[in-house]
Amino acid sequence: MNQTLTQSENSIVILHLSDLHFDGNDNCQDSIDRQGVFGTLIDEIKSLDEEWRPNIVCITGDVAYQNKQSGYEASIEWLNTLLHELAIEKEGVFFCPGNHDVNRVKASFLVRPDKVKDADRILSLPIADHFKSLFARYEEFCKTLSLPAYCFNGSQEYIVGKRSYKDINFVCNNSCWCSMDEDDKGSLWLGLNFIKSLGLPEISNPRFPITIALFHHPKEYYNESETNRYGNRESTIDYLSSRCHIILTGHTHGRPRKPDIIHDNAIKFSGGCYISDQYRNSCSLIRLWPERMCIDYRQYEWDGGQSRWTKFYEELDYKLRIIEKFKNPDYQPAREVQQGIEAEAEREHSLKEIEEIHKTIFDHITSLDNTKAIDHYEKNLNVIDAHRDKYKETIKQIELLILEAKDGRT
């Protein structure tokens, strides 16, 4: 167990799966291979220490292969086994749709927008019936599995929305409204209007709980207006990333890798669980410590040669957005500066990241009254004075604040 955490704290462990691709075909060998991979996964998780046993499952799309009814039926059987063996309740299961959860025949009759004004017009409230119909079989799967629906615009939905569990906000986003074929890359839309309607505040709000966003496709699959800001319209990805702490995606089927940081805020984990028993299938365990705003995570990879899951990578005490530490009344800005400087040396953080730490500290200390300000300012100044060349502007501002605080006290 991470030595910086006490056993009195309650952690939450998420099993992140994606791209299950259940087919339900009559190919006997494929069924045997799949049973070996997924059956062994359950056994591997059950063998873990109690502190790593998941109590939440997040699956980021492509439950069935090519939207097949037989695939959904096969997936329900396995998922019920998974939840039973791990003693996870249905309220702790969260899905989002993937491109294989779309009815491609119906999608082929739709026109995919290539301009932002058209996308914002058609992806607006209420959700058009022709979009909802694309996911009819997927929605029926969710109902058959007895999953709680998400809340969206005053109604219950399975294809977009939000729901809370164990004091964590889970946000289901849909990247597949316009998913049609092999030309999806660079053409998809999440729908800025849909995300804004969820009413998510920025995570700089200290009373905002940990928020986890799920969507299927990674960044490169979206129209550039969803990933870049033009004019007065905010980038959809940036808007969402500033309102969640963790992002879970799928689709790419790549080998495990360290998470990305999106919009200097959200930690993004990608995953892809099954192609074949000879593929490097992967999954992740993410352990949350809400009181300390940090996570531990483990990534696992399927070794087809050995027919077993192996731990590929592990990182402990990974900090969530630093401004959230202001929840802690014992938080000391000077100590945080020192930790930031040490982290830069140890992990080669960029100058931009370190300056963001100092901006956060600067914003915090300016709210102190004069009685406390001088000690805080001088303490911070002493800590970073050795790095004067890099942080000239920060030091100059703190020196001015010290003078102003002294004038105010006199």
Taking only the tens place, the pLDDT of each residue in 253-269 is 666 678 888 877 899 99
State whether 76 and 212 are in the same domain.
yes
Q: List, in sequence order, every beta strand (DSSP E) within 211-322.
A: 211-214, 246-249, 260-262, 266-270, 282-289, 294-303, 308-319
Q: What's the average model confidence in pLDDT over 38-58?
A: 94
State whether 88 and 37 are in the same domain.
yes
Distance of CA 217 to CAs 60, 88, 168, 233, Å?
9, 26, 23, 21
Residues whose CB is less than 8 angstroms from the CB of residue 249 and which lie 6 or more positions away in sequence, other chains included: 18, 60, 214, 215, 216, 217, 218, 268, 269, 270, 271
Is the predicted pLDDT of residue 365 greater than 60, yes or no? no
Is the predicted pLDDT of residue 357 greater than 90, yes or no? no
Query: Is the pTM of the predicted complex or chain greater than 0.85?
Result: no
Q: What's the average model confidence in pLDDT over 346-375?
A: 51
Selection from 29-38, 296-305, 310-319 with the highest mean pLDDT? 296-305
State whether 107 and 217 are in the same domain.
yes
Q: What's the average model confidence in pLDDT over 242-248?
A: 94
State whether 158 and 94 are in the same domain.
yes
d(CA 143, CA 149): 8
More confident residue, 312 or 9: 312
State whether 258 and 367 are in the same domain.
no
Q: Which of 289, 304, 324 is the last residue of a domain?
A: 324
Selection from 12-26, 153-167, 312-326 with the highest mean pLDDT? 153-167
State whether 343 and 312 are in the same domain.
no
What pLDDT, on the 0 to 100 scale, is given for residue 321?
54
Percent of the chain at pLDDT > 70 equals 70
State whether 352 and 373 are in the same domain.
yes
Task: Say what the alpha-carbon torsion angle 53, 56, 62, 63 is, to the nearest 10 degrees.
Answer: 80
Dihedral over Cα of 407, 408, 409, 410: its sign: positive
Token pair 């109690």 is found at: 50
Q: Which of 324, 345, 360 is the last residue of a domain?
A: 324
State whether 227 and 160 are in the same domain.
yes
Is the predicted pLDDT of residue 32 greater than 80, yes or no? no
State whether 105 and 251 are in the same domain.
yes
Residue type, 343: A
Q: What's the average model confidence in pLDDT over 123-127?
A: 97
What pLDDT, on the 0 to 100 scale, is given for residue 313?
80
Query: Is residue 287 in some structural domain?
Result: yes
What pLDDT, on the 0 to 100 scale, is given for residue 265?
82
Number of domain units in the chain: 2
Q: What's the average model confidence in pLDDT over 135-156?
A: 97
Distance of CA 206 to CAs 82, 98, 209, 258, 349, Å?
36, 33, 8, 27, 25
Q: What's the average model confidence in pLDDT over 292-297?
A: 86
For residue 210, the enclosing domain spans 12-324
Residues whose CB is less than 8 angstroms from the CB of residue 330 and which lie 6 or more positions away in sequence, other chains included: none
State whether 207 and 256 are in the same domain.
yes
Is the predicted pLDDT of residue 53 greater than 60, yes or no? yes
Q: Which residues of 2-33 are buried (b: 16+ CB within 10 A; e: fewer)?
A: eeebeeeeebbbbbbbbbbbbbbeeeeeeeeb
Q: What's the average model confidence in pLDDT over 94-113?
A: 96
State whether 269 and 389 are in the same domain.
no
State whether 120 and 261 are in the same domain.
yes
Token pair 């059950």 is found at: 46
In this prediction, residue 7 has a pLDDT band, given cuts at 50, 70 and 90, of very low
